[in-house]
A and B are shown apart, each in its own frame.
Chain A
Amino acid sequence: MIHSLFLINNAGDLFLEKHWKSVISRSICDYFFEAREKAVEPDNVPPVIRTPHHYLINIYREKIFFVSVIQTEVPPLFVIEFLHRVAETFQDYFGECSETTIKDNVVIVYELLEEMLDNGFPLATESNILKELIRPPTILRSMVNTITGSSNVGETLPTGQLSNIPWRRAGVKYTNNEAYFDVVEEIDAILDKSGTTVFAEIQGVIDACVKLSGMPDLTLSFMNPRLLDDVSFHPCVRYKRWESERVISFIPPDGNFQLMSYHISAQNLVAIPIYVKQNISFFETGSSGRLDITVGPKQTMGKTVECLVVTVHMPKVVLSANLSATQGTYNYDPVTKILLWDIGKLNPQKLPNLKGSLSLQSGAPKPEENPSLNIDLKIQQFAISGLKVNRLDMYGEKYKPFKGVKYVTKAGKFQVRT
Chain B
Amino acid sequence: MSASSAFSDDKAGSASEPEYGHDPASGGIFSSDYKRHDDLKEMLDSNKDSLKLEAMKRIVAMIARGKNTSDLFPAVVKNVACKNIEVKKLVYVYLVRYAEEQQDLALLSISTFQRGLKDPNQLIRASALRVLSSIRVTIIVPIMMLAIKEAASDMSPYVRKTAAHAIPKLHSLDPEQKDQLIEVIEKLLADKTTLVAGSVVMAFEEVCPDRIDLIHKNYRKLCNLLIDVEEWGQVVIINMLTRYARTQFLNPNINESLLEDSSEKAFYASDDEEDEDKKAEAAALVKRKPYVMDPDHRLLLRNTKPLLQSRNAAVVMAVAQLYFHLAPKAEVGIIAKALVRLMRSHSEVQYVVLQNVATMTIKRRGMFEPYLKSFYIRSTDPTQIKILKLEVLTNLANETNISTILREFQTYIKSMDKDFVAASIQAIGRCATNIGEVRDTCLNGLVQLLSNRDELVVAESVVVIKKLLQMQPEQHSDIIKHMAKLIDNIQVPMARASILWLIGEYCEHVPKIAPDVLRKMAKTFTNEEDIVKLQIINLAAKLYLTNSKQTKLLTQYVLNLAKYDQNYDIRDRARFIRQLIVPTDKSGALSKYAKKLFLALKPAPVLESPFKDRDHFQLGSLSHLLNAKAGGYQELPEWPESAPDPSVRNVEIPDWSKCTSRKDRKEKKLDKPFYSDSEGDSGPTESADSESDSGSGSESASASDESGSGSESEESGEETESEKEEEDEEKEKKRKKRLDKTKAKKPAEESAESEQSSGTEDRKRGRKAVKNQKSSSESESESESSESEDESEEESEEESESDTNIRKKKTPVSKQPPKQSKKESKKETQEMSLLDLDDFEPTPTSAPVTPVNFLSSSLVSDLEGLSLTDTILAPTTIAPSGSIKMYELLHRITGEGLAVEYCFSRQPFSPDPNMVAVQIQFTNNTNSETKNLHIEEPRLQSGMRIREFAEIEVLAAGESVTVVMGIDFCDSTQAANFQLCTHTRKFFVSIQPPVGELMTPVFLTENDFKKEQGKLMGMNEISEKLTLGEKCVNEHVIVERVTATANLSRVPCGSDKECRFAGKTVSSGCLVLVTVTTKEGGRAQLTVNCEKMVIGTMLVKDIMQALSQ
In the bound assembly, the distance between CA atoms of A236 and B11 in angstroms comes to: 38
Contact with A along B427-457 (1 / 0, CB 8 A): 0000000000000000000000000111000
In the bound assembly, the distance between CA atoms of A334 and B858 in angstroms comes to: 97
In the bound assembly, the distance between CA atoms of A60 and B346 in angstroms comes to: 9
| Interface residue B743 (Cβ < 8 Å from any Cβ of A) | no
| Interface residue B311 (Cβ < 8 Å from any Cβ of A) | yes
Tell me which of A15, A108, A145 contacts B65 (CB under 8 A).
A15
Query: Of all chain B residues, which has the CB nearest A158?
Result: B123
The binding surface of chain A is classed by DSSP as: mixed
Interface pair A368/B453, CB less than 8 Å apart: yes
In the bound assembly, the distance between CA atoms of A76 and B619 in angstroms comes to: 11
Also in contact, A121 and B622, with CB within 8 A (given A17-B66, A19-B97, A372-B379): no
In the bound assembly, the distance between CA atoms of A139 and B631 in angstroms comes to: 47
| Interface residue B786 (Cβ < 8 Å from any Cβ of A) | no
Interface pair B311/A77, CB less than 8 Å apart: no
Interface pair A76/B622, CB less than 8 Å apart: yes
| Interface residue B362 (Cβ < 8 Å from any Cβ of A) | no
A267: B residues at CB distance < 8 A: 272, 370
Interface pair A121/B89, CB less than 8 Å apart: no
The binding surface of chain B is classed by DSSP as: helix
| Interface residue B158 (Cβ < 8 Å from any Cβ of A) | yes
In the bound assembly, the distance between CA atoms of A267 and B274 in angstroms comes to: 14
| Interface residue B382 (Cβ < 8 Å from any Cβ of A) | yes
Contact with B along A225-247 (1 / 0, CB 8 A): 00001111111000110010000
Query: Closest CB-CB distance, A53 to chain B, in whole Å?
Result: 8
Also in contact, A104 and B14, with CB within 8 A (given A15-B65, A230-B337): yes
Interface size on A, as a range, is: 35 or more
Interface pair B622/A74, CB less than 8 Å apart: yes
Contact with B along A246-273 (1 / 0, CB 8 A): 0000000000001001010111000000
Query: Of all chain B residues, which has the CB nearest A197?
Result: B373
| Interface residue B64 (Cβ < 8 Å from any Cβ of A) | yes
Tell me which of B11, B202, B311, B621 contacts A142 (CB under 8 A).
B11
In the bound assembly, the distance between CA atoms of A263 and B620 in angstroms comes to: 23
Query: Closest CB-CB distance, A317 to chain B, in whole Å?
Result: 10
Query: Closest CB-CB distance, A124 to chain B, in whole Å?
Result: 9
Also in contact, A75 and B11, with CB within 8 A (given A23-B97, A80-B348): no
Interface pair A146/B10, CB less than 8 Å apart: yes
Also in contact, A151 and B84, with CB within 8 A (given A121-B232, A266-B373): yes
In the bound assembly, the distance between CA atoms of A339 and B317 in angstroms comes to: 38
Contact with B along A87-128 (1 / 0, CB 8 A): 000000000000000011111111100100011011101000
| Interface residue A222 (Cβ < 8 Å from any Cβ of B) | no
Q: Which of A161-169, A299-307, A397-405 contacts B (4 or more CB under 8 A)?
A: A161-169
Tell me which of B100, B348, B625 contacts A22 (CB under 8 A).
B100
Also in contact, A232 and B310, with CB within 8 A (given A110-B63, A118-B165, A413-B380): yes
| Interface residue B1068 (Cβ < 8 Å from any Cβ of A) | no
Query: Closest CB-CB distance, A122 to chain B, in whole Å?
Result: 4
Contact with A along B333-358 (1 / 0, CB 8 A): 00001101100101111011100000
In the bound assembly, the distance between CA atoms of A18 and B65 in angstroms comes to: 9
Query: Of all chain A residues, which has the CB nearest B350?
Result: A47
B124: A residues at CB distance < 8 A: 157
Interface pair B625/A48, CB less than 8 Å apart: yes
B112: A residues at CB distance < 8 A: none
A19: B residues at CB distance < 8 A: 97
Contact with B along A192-228 (1 / 0, CB 8 A): 1000001101010000000000000000000000000
Query: Closest CB-CB distance, B357 to chain A, in whole Å?
Result: 13
In the bound assembly, the distance between CA atoms of A315 and B379 in angstroms comes to: 12
| Interface residue A346 (Cβ < 8 Å from any Cβ of B) | no
Tell me which of B121, B306, B414 contacts A239 (CB under 8 A).
B306
Q: Which of B49-57, B552-560, B980-988 contacts A (4 or more CB under 8 A)?
A: B49-57
Within 8 A of B (CB), among A404-418: 413, 415, 417
Q: Which of B37-45, B223-231, B912-920 contacts A (4 or more CB under 8 A)?
A: B223-231
| Interface residue A16 (Cβ < 8 Å from any Cβ of B) | yes
Query: Of all chain B residues, which has the CB nearest A119?
Result: B169
In the bound assembly, the distance between CA atoms of A82 and B313 in angstroms comes to: 10
Contact with A along B373-417 (1 / 0, CB 8 A): 110101110111000000000000000000000001001001110
| Interface residue B941 (Cβ < 8 Å from any Cβ of A) | no
Also in contact, A151 and B53, with CB within 8 A (given A15-B65, A105-B14, A106-B64): yes
In the bound assembly, the distance between CA atoms of A12 and B197 in angstroms comes to: 40
Interface pair A313/B380, CB less than 8 Å apart: yes
| Interface residue B199 (Cβ < 8 Å from any Cβ of A) | yes
Interface pair A230/B341, CB less than 8 Å apart: yes
A154: B residues at CB distance < 8 A: 85
| Interface residue A72 (Cβ < 8 Å from any Cβ of B) | yes
| Interface residue A374 (Cβ < 8 Å from any Cβ of B) | yes
Q: Which of B15-23, B142-150, B529-537, B1024-1032 contacts A (4 or more CB under 8 A)?
A: B15-23
A118: B residues at CB distance < 8 A: 130, 134, 162, 165
| Interface residue A44 (Cβ < 8 Å from any Cβ of B) | yes
A324: B residues at CB distance < 8 A: none
Within 8 A of A (CB), among B1-42: 6-7, 10-17, 20
| Interface residue A333 (Cβ < 8 Å from any Cβ of B) | no
A60: B residues at CB distance < 8 A: 347-348
In the bound assembly, the distance between CA atoms of A19 and B202 in angstroms comes to: 19
Also in contact, A106 and B158, with CB within 8 A (given A73-B621, A198-B376, A230-B341): no
B100: A residues at CB distance < 8 A: 22-23
| Interface residue A81 (Cβ < 8 Å from any Cβ of B) | yes
Give me the 7 closest cross-chain CB pairs, A-B, nearest first. A72-B632, A151-B86, A43-B382, A153-B86, A73-B633, A369-B414, A122-B232
17 A-B pairs with CB atoms under 8 Å apart are A23-B97, A41-B383, A50-B628, A59-B348, A61-B346, A73-B623, A75-B620, A81-B349, A104-B13, A107-B16, A162-B157, A230-B337, A234-B311, A263-B344, A315-B416, A316-B416, A413-B380
Q: A75-B314, A75-B622, A267-B272 are in contact. List 13 more A-B contacts (CB 8 A).
A: A21-B172, A22-B136, A55-B622, A72-B631, A75-B239, A76-B352, A76-B622, A84-B346, A121-B165, A146-B6, A146-B7, A166-B230, A261-B341
